Structure 1
Amino acid sequence: MATKAMRRLREATVLKADKSRHEETTAWCNRDLVPLSPSRRTWGWFNFFGAQSLGALNIATWQTPNTFLTQGMSVGQAMAIIVVSRFIVSFFACVIAWCGLTWHVGFTVQNRFTWGLRGSYIPLLQRCLLNFIWTAIQCWNGGRLVEVCLTAIWPSFQRIPNTLPASVPTTTSQMAGFIVFWVVSFPFLFIRPERYKKPFFISSVGCGIAMLAMLIWSLSVAKGVGPVFYQGQDVPSTSRWSISWLMMAGLNQAIGQKAAGITNESDFSRYSSNHRAFVIGTVSVQWVVGVLVSLGGLVTTAACQIIYGEIWWNPPDLMMVMMDRGNGSSASRAGVFFLSFAFAFAILFQNVCGNAVAGGIDLAGLFPRYIDIRRGAILTFMTIWIIQPWQLINRAATFVTVLSSFSVFLAPLMGVMICDYFFIRRQKIKLSHLYNPEDSDYWFTNGFNWRVIPCWIAGWAPTIGGLIVSAGKIKSAPDALYQLYYTAFFTGLSISFVLFYTVNLVFPIKGPGEFDEYDDWATFTPKEAQKLGIMPHQDAEELAHIGFGASGYRRRAPQIQGVKELELGEAETEGMPTEPEKVKG
């Protein structure tokens, strides 16, 4: 009886493949992991602009200068760090995304040709952990904005008695805002990434207008900016570090905050209709909008310094002050409501797409038979209650610092990814070998590429000591440990890149620079296939115009140019389509 129940449970949880579309569900493949067909690549440059804007039009970017000014840097030095770091982030985002733009596979599958089919679980597990934690933290930040919204509607909401026990480091009103944000966010998990275009547009435009309105209002009321905007360099004479090292540490920190998003850019670049769309949409936001938002946050805060006599870096706290100082008037409450609503809506979609959906894609790579993007996103969102972000935000400041410094591990990961794809394989991969371990060049040794693991470890080994002493605030540690940590992104990426290239020269891999002769997955349009030197799928022209969201194709045997058509069996000669060849796994 128990065995029968378990069998039924397994049958219910295994992902169903649409036979009419010749979809497959194996140990290495499901609908969300295969190379995307042209019908699913629907994002243009403005869609990427909207998606990337959600990573720039948020509270974290708005208050970024605060970190650097409190360390004694001048406004010019703080903004210089932001400009340079944003340029570096833009560059590496495009580099990492190039594989997805060309071959239309995501980070989950991209790592299989570098780490091996089984070895790819190592970077996937890192990404899953980060997605779980960042989803929880962003959900808590969104909940704080919902609390502001509810207070703007009902001023008495903030005065609700705290019924939570002393062991819970939050209040009833904050928890209520968090629950509302979580519930409102949940339905958006059922939307597939192909359909995110309109929500991206609405949320990014709404948040941009709110930030601009906040900036204009503060300047018009204050008639200028406060002393903080003219703050010069003020590094204490007792400081252990010179301004050069402080700026280097700030640069590493600013890049590290975006490192998690850079590593999985292929998960979203594969939805692009062309290369140019992704590059224009990404660079215009990461480098231009991100810089302007940080500057706008600094100017607004400086202006509010004149209005309220204090510095309020955190927008939710500033909005509460705006209502209090406005004596709870309907005008001040209405303004604060729309501001906080726009901020919250932007965080909602940034969290759903950038964290929950990304987590769903990574989980789909770990359990392809049972998890697709939707199920994975739901699971990622459910872990929020296990992680309990109110504990992390309100108590574990050190933990959040460590989390922001996770680039110590991600930079070496990017180093081996860039080296392998661009310099070892020369941007050529075999898509068919990514989904079938049998005779696959990417199986290596029992599914692991032994070359990559020591190179990745060598990248973070020199900097992990600095992370430990910085998080533990161990002042007696040698300067060298801190200095290596302050250059962790550049050091880790460079070491892993050089070592991996050297190891592959000494121990060459099988089939570098090779690719499939035939588009077996119906991935490319005829024009794309011609550019790559691949024989297009015989249904490529038809599939490029299939209705939105369809993913069906007929797998046929390749026809080598100059050779007669291969015999496909009696069913084919009678005009009937042959059964698709099943991917083994």
Structure 2
Amino acid sequence: MASRFRGLKRPGLKWPALRVEQVPSAFSGAVGANRWSNKDLDPIRREERKWSVWALIAYWFSDAFNAATWEFAASILAIGLSYKDAIGIVATGFLIVSVVISLNGAVGVLYHAPFPVLARAGWGFWGSYVAIISRVILAMFWFAIQTVNGGDTVFVMITAIWSSFARVHNGIPANEGITTAQMVSFFLFWLAQIPFLYMHPNNLRYLFITKSILVPICFLAILIWSFRSTGGTGGPLLASSSKASIGGSAYSYAWLSSLTSVIGNYATLSVNMPDFSRYSKASVKWQWLYVPMLPIVFTFIAFIGIAATSAGQQHYGVLDWNPANLISNWPNRSCKFFAGFAFSLAALGVNISANSLSAANDLAALAPSYINIRRGQLICALIAWVMVPWKILATAAGFLNFMSAYSVFLGPIAAILVWDFWWVHDMKYDVVALYHPEGIYRYRYGINWRAIAAFLVGVAPNLPGFINSINPAINPGVGIRPYTFAWILGFTITSLIYVVLSAIWKPTETMIPRAILPDEVYEGEGGEIVTIEGKAFGDDVEREGSGEREWKKEDGELRVL
């Protein structure tokens, strides 16, 4: 008796005009109507992979040269550590996170699928929503907040041309946390992002290449100014004692806490690297370039931030880590404008790479029939207004602490992604089954309980400190100490629990003798490769399994003979 391919037949659609493009394939189904995919979520075809090694390097240079990296040392020095401690902490933090970025980025290069799809292998189809929703919340909030920061740099550019702009009449109530001039700057920066949000990710490489050329010139010029204008000393921060003002256990906890803060700033990218590496036409080995490159580049930029802030303190008498405030003090209007433009470009690139594109992939995974990457990025931009981020920055320090502390969830998520691919499944995924919920990654009720259990155990030790960071009035006592190294602790515990659970209760139904890669699927489309009950088929015969079963299509539906 004939059996039908599960998932190919779909009911009628109420709003066909709102649906996004779905191309019939092994991933979206023979009729191109899969609840779990659309054209943007399908693996990238060979001819559509445009990112070279140099484009990936430019991407990371683009990401590194921004105000956040500049300000890394601010909180480190504020708690009593020295600038040499700050340099060592930044280098160590990026050495750790670069390994995770490389490991997860390699999966994207091999399978050319985004994070939300790859997460299904370890979490299950419905279980992956835990990871997806965790990331999309963080990405959308940070997009809004970084748009405010970008608006600050636009404000500097405008005042460099029109100095009286800062004195424009303010018709916005003071409790809103923003002036009319700042609102105009916010809107202009928000508007400047729209064309890039509308752009296909393949074309974004040109933005990152441009930024990786222009912004470093500005940063190097500021570094030269920092030393030349201070007689080669670099100012009071660099001239002061290189020893920390605290010692003993307080020093150790301060060091670990600062390390966690540095890693937390790039915890999102340790998870979402497949969203970019999937467009790579370079081999997997180039992902390991990040391990030496990221610590060197980010540490150098953090040093520029220390030197420039130190010089600013000597010249203007104020220790201010905000680069927009520093360059606003410069008397040369041309230098002020160019520096403001460079930091605006830096903010724009980071906001897309770390926030909007991540949110778009997640939103597309949640509603693939109606949201693609382009729509997802535009939705993220619109939500930025709803969140009134200028008010958050002005009045809700506890909320910002919450957003920073939110990385405690990303450490466990990154751990499951790493260990599921490299150890549990021995680098063998069935890329077709990642798009069909009735395939080998269905687990029970669409949830891999091992991943959920490991995630909860990994997060639990950090919850007392997490709560305290949001509301300091709640004192958990010694329970706050694990939070000092939250990302590392969460990653380590989750790794251990997930590996042990997967070793004792092996997910044997997800194990395959060899990897099913997208290239062989696309190359076999002459035989219309599809998936039946989680197994890859092509050329009219089954690829894996004990027996061969022939199939044919009748009236747009697949039938097994």
Q: Structure 1 residues 281 and 163, CA, compared in 2 at 3 Å: closer, same or farther?
A: farther
Return the alpha-carbon distance in structure 2 between the equivalents of residues 247 and 90 of structure 1: 19
Residue type of the partner of 1:352?
Answer: I
Aligned AA for 2:462?
T
Which residue of 2 is the match for residue 546 of structure 1? Answer: none
Distance 1:420 1:568 in 2: 33
Q: Is the 8 A contact 1:144 1:177 kept in 2?
A: yes
Identify which of 507, 520, 524 aligns with 1:537: 524
Q: Are 1:49 and 2:57 matched, yes or no?
A: yes
Separation (CA, whole Å) in 2 of partners of 1:207 and 1:89? 23
Which residue type is aligned with residue 13 of structure 1? L
Identify the residue that residue 379 of structure 2 maps to in structure 1. Answer: 379
CA 167–510 in structure 1, closer or farther in 2 if over 3 Å, else same: same
Q: 1:304/1:175 Cα in 2 relative to 1: closer, same or farther (>3 Å)?
A: same
Residue 228 (str. 1) matches residue 211 (str. 2): no
Structure 2 residue corresponding to 1:15, chosen from 15, 20, 29: 20
Q: Residues 555 and 581 of structure 1 are in contact (CA less than 8 Å); yes or no, is this contact kept in structure 2?
A: no
Residue correspondence of structure 1 range 251-262 to structure 2 within 5 A: 251-262=259-270
Of 66, 83, 88, the match for 1:75: 83
CA distance in 2: counterparts of 1:509 and 1:567, whole angstroms: 28
Shift of 1:581: 7.0
Aligned to 2:282: 274
User: Any conservation in 2 of the 1:48–1:282 contact (CA below 8 Å)?
Assistant: no
**d(CA) in 1 for partners of 2:126 and 2:190?**
34
Residue 462, structure 1, aligned to residue 471, structure 2:
no
1:441 corresponding residue in structure 2:
440
Q: What per-residue deviation string (whole Å, max 9, x for no partner) do you get for residues 284-309 of structure 1?
A: 65222111111111112222333323
Q: Which amino acid aligns with 2:446?
A: G
Q: Residue 499 of structure 2 aligns to which amino acid in structure 1?
A: Y
In the alignment, structure 1 residue 395 sits paired with structure 2 residue 389: no
Length, aligned pairs only: 533
Question: What secondary structure is seen at the aligned counterpart in 2 of 1:313?
Answer: coil
SS of 2:176's equivalent in the other structure is: coil
- Report the residue type matching 1:469 in the other structure: N
Where does residue 540 of structure 2 map in the other structure?
557
Tell me if structure 1 keeps the 8 A contact 2:428–2:515: no
Q: How far apart are 1:221 and its partner, in Å?
A: 2.5
Query: Gapped runs of 5+ residues in structure 2?
Result: 1-11, 528-536
User: Residues 441 and 230 (structure 1 numbering): CA distance in 2 closer, same or farther, change over 3 Å?
Assistant: same
Structure 1 residue 232: Cα displacement: 2.9
Question: For residues 8 and 455 of structure 1, do their structure 2 counterparts lie closer, same or farther at Cα, with a shift above 3 Å needed?
Answer: closer
Measure, in 2, the Cα distance between the counterparts of 1:476 and 1:86.
31
Say whether residues 1:509 and 2:522 are aligned partners: no
- Corresponding residue SS for 1:33: coil
Alignment partner, residue 349 of structure 1: 349
Worse overlay, 35-44 or 504-513: 504-513
Query: What is the CA distance between 1:157 and its match in structure 2?
Result: 0.4
Q: Is the 8 A contact 2:80 2:244 kept in 1?
A: yes
Taking structure 1 as reference, are residues 582 and 203 closer, same or farther at Cα in structure 2, changes over 3 Å only? Answer: farther
Whether the 8 Å CA contact 2:196–2:204 is kept in 1: the answer is: no
CA distance in 1, matches of 2:333, 2:169: 22
Query: Aligned partners of 2:147 and 2:186: how far apart in 1?
Result: 7
* Distance in 2 separating the partners of 1:423 and 1:277: 18
What is the CA-CA distance between 1:393 and the residue it aligns to? 1.4
- How far is the alpha carbon of 1:470 from its aligned partner? 3.2
The verdict on how the C-alpha distance between 1:567 and 1:482 changes in structure 2, with shifts beyond 3 A counting, is: closer
For the Cα contact (< 8 Å) 1:75–1:230, is it kept in 2? no
Question: Is 1:416 matched with 2:439?
Answer: no
Out of 240-249 and 54-63, give the one that drifted further. 240-249
What are structure 1's unaligned runs of at least 5 residues?
Answer: 1-6, 327-331, 526-535, 541-553, 572-577
Native 8 Å contact 1:51 1:350 kept in 2: no
CA contact (8 A) 1:75 1:231 kept: no
| Aligned 8 A contact 1:63 1:294 in 2 | yes
Question: Which residue of 123, 128, 136 maps to 1:120?
Answer: 128
Answer yes or no: is the 8 Å Cα contact 2:237–2:307 preserved in 1.
no
Quote the Cα distance in structure 1 between the aligned partners of 2:152 and 2:515. Answer: 54
Whether 1:89 and 2:97 are equivalent positions in the alignment is: yes
The offset of 1:193, in angstroms, is 0.7
Tell me the alpha carbon deviations over residues 363-395 of structure 1, each in whole angstroms, 9 at most, x when there is no partner: 111111111111111111110011111012122
Work out whether residues 16 and 25 of structure 1, in 8 Å CA contact, stay in contact via their aligned partners in 2: no
**CA 433–276 in structure 1, closer or farther in 2 if over 3 Å, else same:** closer
**Closer, same or farther in 2 for the Cα pair 1:221/1:579, shift >3 Å?**
farther
Per-residue CA distance 1:22-60 (angstroms, 9 max, x = gap):
882410111111121111222112111121223210001
Aligned to 1:493: 491
Distance 1:579 1:279, change over 3 A: farther
Deviations 1:242-297 (A, max 9, x none): 21111011111111111111111111111111235742663465222111111111
Contact kept? 2:106, 2:284, Cα under 8 Å: no
Shift in CA distance, 356/579, structure 1 to aligned 2, threshold 3 Å = farther
Q: Deviations over 1:204-262 (max 9, x none)?
A: 2111111111222232222222121133367667x995211110111111111111111
Pick closer, same or farther for the CA change 1:581–1:155 going to 2, 3 Å. farther
Q: In the aligned structure 2, how far is the partner of 1:45 from the partner of 1:243?
A: 40
1:385/1:560 CA distance change after superposition, 3 Å:
closer
Residues 1:518 and 1:122: Cα distance change in structure 2 (over 3 Å):
closer
| Residue identity in the other structure for 2:312 | C
Q: Counterpart of 1:242 in 2: which secondary structure?
A: helix
Partner Cα separation in structure 1 for residue 278 and residue 357 of structure 2: 14
Distance 1:133 1:494 in 2: 27
User: Residue type of the partner of 2:42?
Assistant: V
**Taking structure 1 as reference, are residues 274 and 579 closer, same or farther at Cα in structure 2, changes over 3 Å only?**
farther
Q: 2:69 aligns with which of 47, 61, 75?
A: 61
CA distance in 2, matches of 1:559, 1:369: 29
Q: Is the 8 A contact 2:432 2:516 kept in 1?
A: no
Residue 531 (structure 1) aligns with: none
Which amino acid in 1 is paired with 2:395?
Answer: R
Could you say which residue in structure 2 is the equivalent of 1:185? 193
Measured in 2, the distance between the counterparts of 1:422 and 1:456 equals 18
Residue 295 of structure 2: aligned partner: 287
| Change over 3 Å in CA distance of 1:581–1:288 after alignment to 2 | farther
The answer to whether the 8 A contact 1:424-1:512 is kept is no
Give the counterpart letter for 1:557 in structure 2. D
TM-score, structure 2 normalization: 0.88
Change (3 A) 1:258 1:567: closer
Paired AA for residue 349 in structure 1? G
What is the CA-CA distance between 1:475 and the residue it aligns to? 8.2
Q: CA deviation at 1:130?
A: 0.8
Give the partner amino acid of 2:405. S
Q: Which moved more, 1:250-259 or 1:448-457?
A: 448-457
The one-letter code of the counterpart of 1:408 is V
Look up the match of 1:340: 340
Q: Distance in 1 between matches of 2:151 and 2:301?
A: 22
RMSD: 2.9
